[in-house]
C-alpha cells in the first residue's frame, strides 16, 4: 500500500509528453481477439489497466508481452470464451470482449459487471445492440451467458445514448458478422475513431467513424494488426490543469489539442493563457482562477473524465462555479475529500456548486477512482502544507509514472509506503 505525499505551493514549469490513450489501447487489445496471429501495438501506456486487460486476454488464451510501451499479443486459433468475475470486477472494460467472442465462436461467458464509484453503469445498450445482431443472453449466478446460434448478423442498431462501450461492443461484433450493420447515435469519441483505424488495418470495412452514423460491412476473416495508439487526451488535460492550478506554465507535447477543444476553452475562461500547435499546447495559469460553469457531455463536449480535475481548480476560484454532470449518476463522491482540504462544494443530484476559497490546506485524503485521484494530487500541489493521497492504485490504473512526471515539472511530491516517515 502506497500513498502520494504532495507539498503544495510550487508552480509547475517545463514540458511533458503524453503517452497513448488508455481508453483506446484497452479496446484495441480486445479487438485483437478477432484475428489469430501476432498483433503489435505501439505507444501503449504502462498502466495498471493495460496489465489487467492483458490478464483478461491471457485468460482467453492469448500471450502478451510488454516492453518499452510496445505490446505484442499472440492470439491463438481457439479461444476460451470467458472473462471471470475477479477480472471483470477490477476491469469493467472487460465487457467489450462480448462482441469479439460472439463474433469468433458464437458463445461467451462474462461475469456481469456491477456499478462502481461513478454510478450504476448498466450495460443494457451493449446487450440490446448485440441482441439485434442475433445474440441471446441469459444471466446465471452472476455470469452472463451469451450465444449467437446462427452467428452474428448485420442489423440496424440505434443507441438511446451515444455510449462509448456499447458502440465498441457493437462494432467489434459487426466486423465479422454476416451482412451490413448500421449504428445510429454512435459515440463520436476520438478513441472510437482510433479503434476503427486499427480494425481497418486488420481488414475490417467500416465507414463513418467519428460521426454518429457508422456502417460496418461484415467480412469473412480479419488479419493481425499493427498500430500506434493515439495520444491520451485525459493525461494531456490533467497536466493542463496541473499548470493552471499551480499558476505555472507547462507545455504538453505529443498530444492532439483538437481533442481537448472544450476543456482548453474552459481553462481560458478560467483565466489561463492557452497556446497550441498541431501536436502540442501550453498553459500559463493565473494567480487565482476565475469561476467557470460547464456541463459534461459526450465528445466533443466537456469530458466527464476531466470534471474532477477542473473542480479542484475551481475550488480556489475567485467566485462561484456551477457544474452539471450528465454522464454518470454518482460522479461527485470525491467532493467530500476536497472539502476536507477546505473546498466549499455543495452537490445535489447531478449538480455541484463550487464557491471558490482563497486557499486549500493539505491533509490525508483517499483517491476513490482514477480521475478523482488525479484531482486530489492536483489540489495538493496548490494546497498549503502536505497532502497525503491514499489508495493510489486507482491513479496507477490510468497514469504512467504520474509522480515522476509531475516531479519533472518541478512538483514537490513523492510516493512512499503508507505510514513511512518522510
Active site residues: 116
DSSP state letter for 153? B
* Residue among 5 and 155 whose Cβ is closer to ligand EPU: 155
Residue whose C-alpha cell is 490533467: 238
Which one of 9, 46, 84, 119 is in contact with ligand EPU (CB under 6 A)?
119
Report yes or no: 141 and 189 within 8 Å, Cβ to Cβ.
no
Using CB under 6 A as the binding rule, whether residue 126 contacts ligand EPU is answered as yes
Out of 238, 304, 309, 321, the only residue in the binding site for ligand EPU (CB under 6 A) is: 304
Alpha carbon distance, N-terminus to C-terminus of the chain: 16
Q: Which of residues 346-375 bind ligand EPU (CB under 6 A)?
A: 370-371
Give me the least distance between CB of 129 and ligand EPU, in Å please: 8
- Pick between residue 104 and residue 126 the one whose CB is nearest to ligand EPU: 126
Instruction: Decide whether 26 or 50 has the Cβ nearer to ligand EPU.
Output: 26
Q: How far apart, in whole angstroms, are the C-alpha atoms of residue 293 and residue 310?
A: 10
Residues 379-408 that bind ligand EPU (CB under 6 A): 398
Site for ligand EPU in 22-81 (CB under 6 A): 22-23, 26
Provide, rounded to whole angstroms, the least separation between the CB of residue 227 and ligand EPU: 17
CB–CB of 333/305 below 8 Å?
A: no
Is residue 205 within 8 Å of 216, Cβ to Cβ?
yes
- Pair 94, 54: CB distance under 8 Å: no
Out of 121, 261, 288, 355, the residue judged to bind ligand EPU by CB under 6 A = 121
Count of residues interacting with ligand EPU (CB under 6 A): 23
Decide the pairing of beta strands 344-348 and 351-355. antiparallel
Phi, psi of 362 (to 5 degrees): -65, 145
Residue 327 touches ligand EPU, criterion: CB under 6 A: yes
Does residue 374 contact residue 242 with C-beta atoms inside 8 Å?
Answer: no
Of residues 22, 49, 54, 51, the one with CA closest to residue 39:
54
Site for ligand EPU in 137-156 (CB under 6 A): none
CB nearer to ligand EPU: give 371 or 405: 371
Contact between 334 and ligand EPU by CB under 6 A: the answer reads: no
Q: How far is the CB of 124 from ligand EPU (least distance, A)?
A: 5
> Who contacts 251 (Cβ-Cβ below 8 Å, separation ≥6)?
14, 15, 16, 280, 281, 282
Report in angstroms the alpha-carbon separations of 275 from 272, 281, 303, 364, 416.
10, 6, 20, 35, 36
CB of 319 to ligand EPU, least distance (A): 28
* 82 belongs to the binding site for ligand EPU (CB under 6 A): no
Place of cell 455541484: 352
Among 56, 75, 83, 166, binds ligand EPU (CB under 6 A): 166
- The residue number with the shortest CB distance to ligand EPU is 165
Site stretch for ligand EPU (CB under 6 A), options 35-43, 117-125, 269-277, 358-366? 117-125
Give the integer Cα–Cα distance in Å for 308 and 286.
19
Q: How far apart are CA 276 and CA 92, in angstroms?
A: 34
Cα gap 347→20, rounded to integer Å = 33
Cβ proximity to ligand EPU: between 121 and 261 the closer is: 121
Task: Indicate whether 333 belongs to the interface with ligand EPU (CB under 6 A).
Answer: no
Tell me which residues touch ligand EPU (CB under 6 A). 22-23, 26, 93, 119, 121-126, 161, 163-166, 304-305, 327-328, 370-371, 398
Amino acid at each position: 500500500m502506497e500513498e502520494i505525499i504532495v507539498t503544495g505551493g510550487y508552480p509547475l514549469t517545463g514540458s511533458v509528453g503524453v503517452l497513448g490513450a488508455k481508453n483506446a489501447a484497452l479496446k484495441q487489445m480486445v479487438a485483437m481477439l478477432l484475428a489469430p496471429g501476432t498483433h503489435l501495438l505501439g505507444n501503449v501506456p504502462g498502466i495498471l489497466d493495460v496489465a489487467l486487460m492483458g490478464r483478461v486476454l491471457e485468460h482467453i488464451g492469448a500471450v502478451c508481452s510488454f516492453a518499452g510501451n510496445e505490446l505484442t499479443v499472440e492470439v491463438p486459433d481457439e479461444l476460451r470464451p470467458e472473462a471471470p468475475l475477479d477480472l471483470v470486477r477490477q476491469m469493467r472494460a472487460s465487457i467489450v470482449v462480448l462482441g469479439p467472442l460472439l463474433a469468433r465462436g458464437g458463445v461467451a461467458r462474462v461475469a456481469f459487471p456491477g456499478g462502481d464509484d461513478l454510478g450504476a453503469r448498466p450495460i443494457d445498450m451493449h446487450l440490446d445492440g448485440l441482441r439485434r445482431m442475433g445474440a441471446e443472453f441469459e444471466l446465471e449466478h452472476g455470469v452472463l451467458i451469451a450465444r449467437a446460434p446462427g452467428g452474428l448478423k448485420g442489423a440496424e442498431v440505434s443507441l438511446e445514448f451515444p455510449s462509448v462501450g456499447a458502440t465498441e461492443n457493437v462494432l467489434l461484433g459487426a466486423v465479422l458478422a454476416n451482412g451490413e450493420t448500421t449504428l445510429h447515435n454512435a459515440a463520436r469519441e476520438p478513441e472510437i475513431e482510433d479503434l476503427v483505424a486499427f480494425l481497418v488495418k486488420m481488414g475490417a470495412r467500416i465507414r463513418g467513424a467519428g460521426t454518429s452514423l457508422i456502417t460496418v460491412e461484415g467480412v469473412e476473416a480479419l488479419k493481425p494488426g499493427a498500430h500506434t495508439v493515439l495520444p491520451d487526451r485525459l493525461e494531456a488535460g490533467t497536466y493542463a490543469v496541473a499548470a493552471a492550478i499551480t499558476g505555472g506554465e507547462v507545455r504538453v507535447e505529443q498530444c492532439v489539442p483538437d481533442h481537448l477543444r472544450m476543456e482548453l476553452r474552459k481553462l481560458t475562461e478560467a483565466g489561463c493563457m492557452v497556446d497550441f500547435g498541431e501536436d502540442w499546447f501550453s498553459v500559463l495559469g493565473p494567480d487565482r482562477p476565475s469561476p467557470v460553469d460547464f456541463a459534461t457531455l459526450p465528445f466533443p463536449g466537456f469530458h466527464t473524465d476531466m470534471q474532477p480535475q477542473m473542480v479542484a481548480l475551481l475550488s480556489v476560484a475567485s467566485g462561484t462555479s456551477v457544474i452539471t454532470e450528465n454522464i454518470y449518476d454518482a460522479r461527485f463522491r470525491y467532493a467530500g475529500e476536497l472539502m476536507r482540504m477546505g473546498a466549499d462544494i455543495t452537490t445535489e443530484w447531478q449538480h455541484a456548486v463550487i464557491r471558490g476559497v482563497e486557499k486549500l490546506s493539505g491533509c490525508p485524503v483517499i483517491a476513490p477512482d482514477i480521475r478523482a485521484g488525479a484531482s486530489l494530487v492536483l489540489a495538493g500541489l496548490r494546497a498549503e502544507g502536505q497532502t497525503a493521497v491514499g489508495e493510489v492504485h486507482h491513479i496507477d490504473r490510468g497514469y504512467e509514472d504520474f509522480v515522476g512526471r509531475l516531479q519533472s515539472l518541478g512538483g514537490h511530491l513523492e510516493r512512499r509506503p503508507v505510514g513511512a516517515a518522510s
